[in-house]
Amino acid sequence: MPGDDAVPVTNMLLYLVIATVPTAACWAVLRLPRLIRRFRRSRATATNLPIERIAADLRRVHRVLTAYGPGTPMVRRMGTLQAYDALLMQACRAVDVPHRLDAVGLGTPLEIERLRVEQSLMSAGLVIR
């Protein structure tokens, strides 16, 4: 019968859809954070500030960080550190210095990456401190 060939093709297409849709959905869910970071990064680079302004902001925020005493609330410290990291990332983009500040976790790895980035920026001629 001529109509019998259409049924296996339809079943095969249905099987293909059932097999690929969950995989594609999982892939999209796993890639979503990276896509969001890339979108935010592209929006942040749209406001290209002069490097002198970024360096001045880095020095100002660094002074604020070093002036915090032992009684400073952790929320204020963390907010200032996040602002400092954002400025470091802007400076890295401005002078083409690679960084992983947005990829490493909190704690010691972030501190080490922050120090490495500061040194790289100073080696590139940016005065941070």
Average pLDDT over residues 75-86: 88
pLDDT in tens, 28-50: 888 888 888 887 776 655 457 78
pLDDT at site 47: 56
pLDDT at site 115: 86
pLDDT at site 46: 47
128 neighbors 122 (Cβ within 8 angstroms):
yes
pLDDT in tens, 113-125: 888 888 888 888 8
Q: Would the pLDDT of 3 be above 60?
A: no
Query: Of all residues in the chain, what percent carry a pLDDT higher than 90?
Result: 1
pLDDT at site 107: 82
d(CA 88, CA 97): 10
pLDDT at site 24: 84
- Other CB atoms within 10 Å distance of the CB of residue 95: 16
Question: How far, in whole angstroms, is CA 97 from its chain's centroid?
Answer: 15
